[in-house]
Chain A
Amino acid sequence: MIAGRGKARIRPPRRGLHGDEVDFDMTWATIESAFREIHTKNASKLSYEELYRHAYRIVLKKKGEHLYNKVHDFERDWLSSEVRASIQQLLSPNLVVDAQSVAGTTANERRVAGEKFLKGLKQAWGDHQVCTSMLADVLMYMDRVYCADQRRPSIFNAAMVLFRDEILHSPVAETATYTILGLLNDIILDQIQMERDGDVIDKQLIKSCVWMLEGLHQDEVESEEQRLYNTSFEVAYLDQSRNFYRRESELLLRDSHAGAYCKHARRRIYEEDERCKQTLLESTAPKIQQVVEDEMIKNRIHELVEMESGVRFMIDNHRLEELNFVYDLNKRVDDKKTEITRAIQQRIVYMGSDINKDAIAASQAPAAAPAADSADKGRGAAQEKSLNQQTVAAIKWVEDVLSLKDRFDKIWLESFESDHLLQQAQTRSFTEFINSPTFPRSSEYISLFIDENMKKGIKGKTEMEIDTVLDKAIILLRYVQDKDLFERYYKKHLCRRLLMNKSISNEVEKQMISKMKIELGNNFTLKLEAMFKDMTISEELTAGFKKHVEGLGDRDPKRIELAINVLTSMTWPLESMGGVAAEEEDQRPRCNFPMVVDKIKRGFEKFYSEKHSGRQLTWLANMGSADIKAVFPKVPQKDGSFKERRHDLNVSTYGMVILLLFNELPADQHLTFEEIQAQTNIPNNDLIRNLQSLAVAPKTRILIKEPMSKDVKPTDRFSFNEGFQGKFVKIKVGVVSGGNKVESDRERRETEKKNDDSRQFCIEAAVVRIMKQRKELSHQQLVSETLGQLAGQFKPEVNMIKKRIESLIEREYLERVEGAKIDSYRYLA
């Protein structure tokens, strides 16, 4: 490989390995002149190898430090004289003044002057970097050996620091304290402000200067936060921005509407983000975001939400997109979205309360003026009309609430991005107004809504539509706190529907029950299911009895056909049937049935007792109906012929009893009220109402009343109306208060009282259950556990619980624990 001249003598070098007297000054002169050429971009004749060698030899001769200092001084001088002079030339007289105060020249002039400065500075910086890089290349050996060894900054880094000190920190004028760096910052800030105002600026140019600031540090610490960019520029930028956005947000709120504000804020946020990417540094992004969010959102969100065009307006005018903007802004500064949640809740409760108020107002409004011939209508009819009006108000309430829910569900889905917290808040608000103490009718109204649908509403609807309707009821039911009250109403209404055969479909009834089972539990639906069972059994009994009778012997053409409903006594809410007044509650309706009816009655009783010995049947004459075939004597027709008229009359049981009295009576004779009363034993009120329906109601005057008037006096006389004319063969004689209606205030109070009574039992049962298990509990714990156990049924008042506890103590179920620090109780076995 290497042809060895192995044996040749090696002479010791005469002048050392590299020439003994490395003359420093001469060498340095060469190097310095080369550096000058480099700086003046005149380096074409230079040889890298030669320069490198010069520096190498100097360091080898242990003169590294000397060289380093010389280079350092050279650079410093170059910067402070040549470079600084060129920078000074960029400063127009106005530039300095304008940068510090905005007034004076036009925006365009300022922009142009600023750009000139930035360009010049960028150029100087660029040149400096290139030159320094070349110097460092040439001095590589010194860097490696001397600097590393002596722990001095590399010549490149030292030169960077020199640029900072000699250029950036130099004053703009001899006596000024304002520095080039300060000017640079102000110019950039000014340009950015112009961009915010809509002008186009040279982003790339600014970015170049930003890079310069990024590469330099405030002092020796070389951390990110100590970069000149951060300590000098960024601080000023954030301050200026803060002031700007504070002012802008104030003006915007004053001058434009909420939706526009939101859009603007979003735009600014986006702009700032882009600015950090394109013009500044990305590390500023989170900090400026914070500034914008603080000034435009956090400090203003309350005003924004509350302003005239704010959330309330948006809700009322279906501005879903704007609501989404507000939500989005709120979310940025607050995880809980407190402001918008509050506004939504307020609105829901307000609108809900309005719905409540409307319902109450509608139900208390004076009855619509009756028709002209009011004398013909019974007083009951007018009352009926007003009650119908109330029922209508109830239905409307349900539909309004559901409609409100739909509206806010839509907002929740589209504007609030199905936000979990907002869903909870909305639920709370709905619960609030539905269970408001000023509106105690929710349970009743919901039950009426279902009632109306079961009787009429679902007619003609598809399975899916029906399901939707039922689900609506369930949705509302979920909000109701007094579920026991609802149960009470539902039973009452269901009872009437079943017994008067008003339901369109038994299937749908059962469907509703099973939905309620899921929602409210088994206990609730047990009694309801029992009612259905009774109806089924009653059908079987009716069929069975009919067969039984047929089997007995010849068919009597005049035999009465019986359709029977046997009701298990505790299952059905019978006290609410037939308008029996509270005072007469204890009295079962009594009635003297005509013989034919009595016969069939006894026949059935016998039949039933053979099936179920030991059970007692009580007949409810105030309920039920009868179909009577009535024959009216011939009357002359228009065309001269005579025709006997037959009608099928459908009347109440009492009505039947009354009419049959007239069968034995000659046509020209009459019965007085008192006589009828004595013979039938029908309670007064019922008798009056039934006589009104048979003799006063215009289309169903089967009887003639003397004297003719709306009200019925004991001395009034009644006779069979031979001349009765009815349009149709089948005539139904309706009695006032047939259907389910909204309760009068009196009735409502009664219902509530009954409900409270049964609640007391429930509370006591719960307390005993709890104490039996826990043996000893503090008062607070007992109350809260009781509340918890009963939550599914109703919300007991704390006072009621207290009273029940005291009652239980009196009755020695519990005792107070003596000497305990806090009120406590003990279970007494």
Chain B
Amino acid sequence: MAETAREELINSLKSLLSSSEYSDFTITCGADAYKVHKAIVCSRSGFLKRAEKFPFGKKSAENMVNLPADDPAIIKCLFHFLYGCDSNDAPIDRLLHAKMYEITDKYNLRGLKMPTREKFTLEHAFMSTPDEDQGLREILYEIVVSHVVLLEQTSVEELMGSHTGFAFSVIKRQAAELARLKSS
């Protein structure tokens, strides 16, 4: 019974996003505009919550928030996950996944339904072709180094533990960062 109820809920959330019904909040990113609902998004994101209540600015009067500096693909992902969608039925973009970590931290998102194969993503990312990896790996390093919070995630921890190379690279980058800070 409970299962059916939960399924019902998720289905209705999904349809809310696609239909834009009852929307009272608009988030724009690049060319995309998402008609969302304050009750749903502001309760999950500290950033959106505060953005919504920020008393000044034209945007706030119009119940609109623009995210000019974010990747529209990520944002799209974000809202899909917020509204209960699952990425299980689509191929996973590893880079996207990495960036999802980042956005979670940036916008103080809670309980995002990330694809379950997090571990895979990171390991997979790490073990793919050098060219691709280089790019991806760099990004991963950057993310882990910048977003200290991520270190607490078990998946990252495990990755660091089982792939010393990864760990070493992260440390190297941390050291470089520190040095840079000290000198500036």
Contacts and interface: CB of A to CB of B under 8 A. Distances in A.
Interface of A: 1-2, 4-6, 9-13, 16-18, 38, 43-49, 52-53, 56, 60, 62-63, 130, 134, 137, 140-141, 144-145, 149
Given A10-B95, A140-B46, A1 B132 contact: no
Interface residues of B, number: 50
B149 interface: yes
Contact of B50 (A5, A6, A38, A140): A140
A13 B139 contact: yes
B50 A43 contact: no
Given A2-B77, A56-B106, A43 B56 contact: yes
B30 to A, nearest CB: 14
Given A44-B58, A49-B65, A53-B69, A141 B106 contact: yes
B3 interface: no
B66 A5 contact: no
13 contacts: A2-B77, A2-B80, A10-B139, A38-B56, A47-B57, A48-B65, A52-B50, A60-B146, A63-B181, A134-B54, A134-B56, A137-B54, A145-B149
Contacts of B65: 48-49
A6 B91 contact: yes
A43 B58 CA distance: 10
A62 B184 CA distance: 11
B73 to A, nearest CB: 7
Contact of A48 (B50, B95, B102, B148): B50
Contact of A52 (B47, B86, B148): B47
B57 A10 contact: no
Contact of B177 (A43, A45, A48, A62): A62
- Could you say which of A13, A17, A45, A134 has the most chain B C-beta atoms within 10 Å of its C-beta? A17
B172 to A, nearest CB: 15
- Could you say which of B55, B59, B80, B92 has the most chain A C-beta atoms within 10 Å of its C-beta? B55
Top 9 closest pairs, chain A to chain B, by CB: A43-B56, A10-B135, A1-B90, A137-B50, A48-B54, A12-B135, A17-B142, A12-B138, A4-B91
A49 B68 CA distance: 9
Interface of A is mostly: loop
- Could you say which of B76, B92, B93, B102 has the most chain A C-beta atoms within 10 Å of its C-beta? B93
A39 to B, nearest CB: 12
A2 B91 CA distance: 8
B169 interface: no
A13 B71 CA distance: 14
Nearest to A62: B181
Contacts of B91: 2, 4, 6
Contact of A17 (B47, B143, B149, B181): B143
Given A13-B138, A52-B47, A46 B87 contact: no
A134 B148 CA distance: 26
Interface string B8-43: 000000000000000000000000000000000000
A9 B80 CA distance: 25
A52 B134 contact: no
Given A45-B57, A46-B57, A49-B67, A9 B135 contact: yes
A56 B86 CA distance: 29
Contacts of B135: 9-12
B171 interface: no
A4 B177 CA distance: 33
Contact of A47 (B50, B53, B59): B59
A1 B85 contact: yes
Interface string B109-149: 00000000000000000000001101110110011001111
Nearest to A3: B90
Contacts of A46: 56-57
A11 B55 CA distance: 40
Given A48-B65, A134-B56, 14 more contacts: A1-B86, A1-B90, A2-B73, A2-B76, A2-B80, A4-B90, A9-B135, A17-B143, A45-B56, A48-B59, A52-B47, A62-B177, A140-B108, A145-B148
A18 B142 CA distance: 10
Nearest to A56: B106
B89 interface: yes
B159 interface: no
Contacts of B54: 48, 134, 137
B51 interface: yes
A18 B102 CA distance: 12
Nearest to B50: A137
Contacts of B77: 2
A11 B133 CA distance: 10
A714 B142 CA distance: 149
A17 B56 contact: no
Contacts of A48: 50-51, 54, 57, 59-60, 65
A2 B51 contact: no
Contacts of B85: 1
B96 interface: yes
Given A44-B58, A49-B66, A1 B89 contact: yes
B87 A1 contact: yes
A10 B130 CA distance: 11
A4 to B, nearest CB: 5
A10 B136 contact: yes
Contacts of B95: 10
A49 B70 CA distance: 11
Nearest to B95: A10
Given A17-B143, A140-B46, A134 B51 contact: no
Nearest to A65: B181
A555 B93 CA distance: 147
Nearest to B89: A1
Contacts of B47: 52, 140
